[in-house]
Amino acid sequence: MMNHKEKEQLKTEITVKTAHIKTLGNWLRNSILILLITGTLGFWGLSGIQDRFLPDITGPGRIAVGWLGSIIAVLAFVFAILVLVAIQNGRKHVLKLINTLKGVKK
């Protein structure tokens, strides 16, 4: 059985961890946005497509933009996966804390 002080500490910890999970959600959104933008730049730079809306860059500059975009896209993808795993594990941990607070044993 927990006393009142321990319960309040546990409630505070649940609140803080929930706020951290929301922050991780923002990181996930931003990393996916960066992934989409740099992936598009990488595709544009390495594919050689011509479009009237895109700048007419040819040669090594376009290839460099393509490789740079591709590398950053891969890094953003890996970061997004790591953040997604952190969110899932954080939610599991918060649920365990809530079960502990309620007195449910697993």
Q: Does 18 map to a domain?
A: no
Q: What is the pLDDT of residue 4?
A: 86
What CA–CA distance (Å, rounded) separates 35 from 75? 8
pLDDT in tens, 43-89: 988 987 777 776 777 788 889 999 999 999 999 999 999 999 999 99
Domain count, the chain: 1
Q: What is the pLDDT of residue 67?
A: 96
Q: Does 16 map to a domain?
A: no
pLDDT greater than 80 at residue 105: no
What CA–CA distance (Å, rounded) separates 68 from 11? 45
Note whether 78 and 71 are within 8 A (CB). Answer: no
Q: What is the rounded radius of gyration, in angstroms, for the C-alpha atoms of the chain? A: 22
Q: Does 57 map to a domain?
A: yes
pLDDT greater than 70 at residue 106: no
For residues 53 and 103, which has the higher predicted lDDT (pLDDT)?
A: 103
Q: Does 73 map to a domain?
A: yes
Cβ atoms within 10 Å, residue 42: 20
86 is in which domain, residue-wise?
Answer: 26-102
Q: Does 81 map to a domain?
A: yes
Inter-axis angle of helices 4-47 and 60-102, nearest 10: 160
pTM: 0.83
pLDDT in tens, 7-27: 899 999 999 999 999 999 999
Q: Does 8 map to a domain?
A: no
Instruction: Provide CB contacts within 8 A for 13, sequence distance 6+.
Output: 97
